[in-house]
Amino acid sequence: MPVLQANTPQAQRSVYNAGMGYRLSKIYTRTGDAGTTGLGDGSRTAKDSARITALGDVDETNSLIGVILCEELPAEVRELFIGIQHDLFDLGGELSIPGASLLKATQPARLEAAIDRFNAELDPLKEFILPGGVRAAALIHLARTVCRRAERTLVALAAGEPISESGRQYLNRLSDLLFVLGRWVNKTSGQGDVLWQKGKNA
């Protein structure tokens, strides 16, 4: 078995196939020095290709959720974010294998249920809000914006290559959930929404 760089798409593919039956011990391989990276099907693509851009944006979203998990959060929200991290890694594995479909329809559906659950505790939104409030909510809003970017890059990739419907749905639902959770965390902390004031500095 070839030695794989620990955080490459090819490594993700092998992890899925082998069930972590081995350890990724080599961190650098020098195979990407020419500006390409390996995909799970053994092919290589440019590091700035649409597929790798989408994969990177999904990874960045996941990393920001890792930062959010450093905050004090209600147990229910913490468990939800941990599950989302696993889902995003599934999506990353899917993107590393052209034509693969790893996310199941139940995964975006679970996000829809969470949106309904947390949104039911919020007041109807009558004004635009600013990203901010308590630190955890501000970080959730930051993750939302990065997730939206990931969704855009995934849509761009899907214009030229097949992408699973569940993958596209997942990022869309996740950004919606992050918006709701940002509001919910502010409300439960006593901060409330930070409302946009039109023309405040005009």
List, for residues 146-202, the tens digit of each pLDDT value.
999 999 999 999 999 888 889 999 999 999 999 999 999 999 999 999 989 888 888
Residues 108, 17, single domain; the answer is no
Q: Tally the domains of the chain.
A: 2
202 falls within a domain: no
Residues 96, 20, single domain; the answer is no
Of the pLDDT bands very low, low, confident and very high (cuts 50, 70, 90), residue 5 is very low
Residues 13, 86, single domain; the answer is no
Could you tell me if 107 and 90 are in contact, meaning their C-beta atoms sit under 8 angstroms apart?
A: yes
Max alpha carbon distance in the chain (Å)?
64
Residues 54, 75, single domain; the answer is yes
Residues 61, 34, single domain; the answer is no
* CA proximity to 95, closest of 169, 13, 186: 13
Could you tell me if 23 and 11 are in contact, meaning their C-beta atoms sit under 8 angstroms apart?
A: no
Domain range holding 164?
49-189
List, for residues 96-129, the tens digit of each pLDDT value.
887 778 889 999 999 999 999 999 999 999 889 9
List, for residues 12-47, the tens digit of each pLDDT value.
544 444 444 445 566 656 655 557 666 666 667 657
Does pTM top 0.85 for this prediction? no
201 falls within a domain: no
Q: How many CA atoms lie within 13 A of 60 on its CB side?
A: 17
